[in-house]
Amino acid sequence: MEGNIKDVIIYWIEGEIENFIKVWLLIYVSLCYCYLSSKILPKGLFRLSSFLPVILFFLYVPLKINSVHLCGNTGFFISWLCNFKLILLAFDQGPLSDSSLSIIKFVFLACLPIKIQQKSQIYVENRDKFHQNNHFQETPSNEKKDFAKNDHFQETQFPSSIDKIENNPFQDGYFYETPSKKLVENGSSVQNGKDFAKSGYFKESSVPSFAKSNKGQKLNYGIKTLIFALIIRVYDYSDYIHPYIIMVIYCFHIYLSLDIILAIVSGLARGLLGLQLEPQFNEPYLSTSLQDFWGRRWNLIVTRILRPTIYKPVLSLSANILGRKWAPIPAVMATFVVSGLMHELIFYYLGRVKPTWEITWFFLLHGVCLNLEIYAKKVINGRFKLPRIIGTILTVGFVMITGLWLFFPQLLRCNSDVRALAEYEAIGAFFKDFTRAVKSTFSR
C-alpha cells in the first residue's frame, strides 16, 4: 500500500485491530467496575455475585475476535487468568486484594500476568550473593533460605504452617527447601506474594529480580528470536518434511512465541508502569521430571493461579475425607482437570468447533502420571535417582509424544498453523508499508 504514515496506520488498523481495541476497552471498563465493587461490597458471596456478569462477559468476549494470536492471548489472559483472579478477589484473596492498588495498576494486574515492582525494594543493602547456573543471584540477607543441591540452587515457596511440603505436588520429590521457622511464624505464604520460582533462572520475592543479567537476558532472547525466525522459514518447505517432524517444530514454535511475546510485554510493563511480568517459562527442555516440568518450568503463571483457586481448596476438602497422606492425589487430579477444561475452552475460541476432549485426556494422563511419580519418589525416599540427562530425555520425550498424540492434532484441526502464518505475513506487510511511508515522508 502506498501513502503517508497516517493513511498506512488507518488502513491497517481497520477491521480486526479496530475490533480488538473495542473489545479491550470494554474489558478495561468492566475491570474498573470490579475495582469499585471490591471497595464497596464486603467479601464473600455477595461480592462474587456482583462479579458474575463480568466473569460471564469475559468468557464470551474472545468470540468477538478472529485472529489466532489476538483471540488466543485474550482468552488466556481474560477468560482464564483474570476470571480466576476475580474469583479470588471476591473472597479478598489473590493479587488483586491489595487495598493499596490504584485503579490503573488494578486493571493491568487483573488482565496481564504481572506483579507490582516496588522501586524502594530494588536495591537492598547487606545482600548475600549466591552463584547460580554460572551467574550470581541476589537474595535479601534478612530472609533465611536453604537451597536444594540439585546441580544449581533452586528456591521453592515458603509454605505456611498448615501447608506442608508433602502436600505440594510441585516439589521435586527429593529436592525441596526447608522453610525458615521465623518466616513461617510471620505467615509467609503464596497468597501473601511470597512465591518463589523453582528455577535457576527466575525468582519471585519481595525484591523482584531476575537471576540473569540484562546482557544475558538480551542474548538469550536474541538467540530465541533467531530460532523462531528460522522456524517460520522452515514452514515454507513443509511439503518436503515429515509431518511428525513438523509437529515437533510446532512444540518449539508455541514455546518460543509465548516466551518472546511475554518478554516484550514485560519490557513495556517495566518501562512504562514499573510493573514486572511473572516469568512464564523456565527452560522447560531441561526438565528432569514431570513435577519439575509442570511446577517449575512450564507455564508458571497457570501454576500460580491454579494453586490457590483449585489445588489448595480441594486439598483441604480431601484431607478431611481421605486424610493428609492421600489428600494430594485428588487435589493434583482436580488441578489438571480444570487446566484441561480451560484449554478446551481456549481451543474452542481458536477454532469455533465442537471439542472432542483429547485435550482434557492429555491433562488427565499427565495428572495420573504425576501422582504416580509422587508416590514412587515417596517409596524410593531418595535411595535411587536417575542421572539428570536420563530424566530430561524421559520427561521431555514423554511430554512431546503425548502432545503429538493428543494435544497438537486438536490445535491443527482448526487450521491455527495456517492462520498464524498468514498473520505473520500480514505483520511483515504492515512494516513494509510503514517503512515505505516513512521513507516517502522524509524524502520530500
Write out the three cell numbers for 228. Answer: 523462531
> Does 264 fall in a domain?
yes
> If you search the block for the grid coordinates 504481572, which residue do you land on?
114
Interacting residues of 437 by C-beta distance below 8 A, sequence separation 6+: 3, 4, 5, 7, 8
Torsional sign, CA 423, 426, 428, 431: negative
| E-state strands within 258-324 | 275-277
| Final residue belonging to a domain, choices 62, 81, 112 | 112
In the chain (444 residues long), the average pLDDT of successive 10-residue segments reads: 58 75 94 95 94 97 90 92 96 91 89 63 39 42 41 39 41 37 39 38 38 63 85 81 80 81 74 70 90 90 91 93 89 95 94 90 96 89 86 93 88 78 78 75 70
Say what the pLDDT of residue 137 is. Answer: 42
> Does 349 fall in a domain?
yes
Alpha carbon distance 437, 440 (integer Å): 5
Burial degree of 73 (CB within 10 A; 0-12, 13-18, 19+): buried
Say what the pLDDT of residue 276 is. Answer: 67
The answer to whether the predicted template modeling score (pTM) of the entire model surpasses 0.85 is no
* DSSP letter, residue 412: H
* Residue 63 Cα distances to 133, 249, 420, angstroms: 43, 28, 17
Say what the pLDDT of residue 185 is. Answer: 39
> Does 324 fall in a domain?
yes
> Does 43 fall in a domain?
yes
Is residue 218 domain-shared with residue 87, that is, in the same domain?
no
Residue span of the structural domain in which 88 resides? 5-112
* DSSP letter, residue 131: E
Write out the three cell numbers for 418. Answer: 495456517
> Does 186 fall in a domain?
no
Say what the pLDDT of residue 8 is. Answer: 56
| Final residue belonging to a domain, choices 80, 112, 144 | 112
Helices (H) and strands (E) in the chain, counts: 17, 6
Number of domains in the chain: 2
pLDDT digits (tens, 9 = 90+) for 180-239: 333 333 443 333 433 433 333 333 333 344 444 566 677 777 888 888 888 888 877 877
Say what the pLDDT of residue 136 is. Answer: 40
| E-state strands within 208-350 | 209-210, 275-277
Is residue 274 domain-shared with residue 409, that is, in the same domain?
yes
| Final residue belonging to a domain, choices 112, 140, 162 | 112
Which alpha helices (DSSP H) does 41-185 contain, by range? 45-60, 68-74, 83-90, 103-111, 181-185
* Residue 49 Cα distances to 137, 162, 308, angstroms: 44, 30, 20
Is residue 401 domain-shared with residue 256, that is, in the same domain?
yes
> Does 75 fall in a domain?
yes
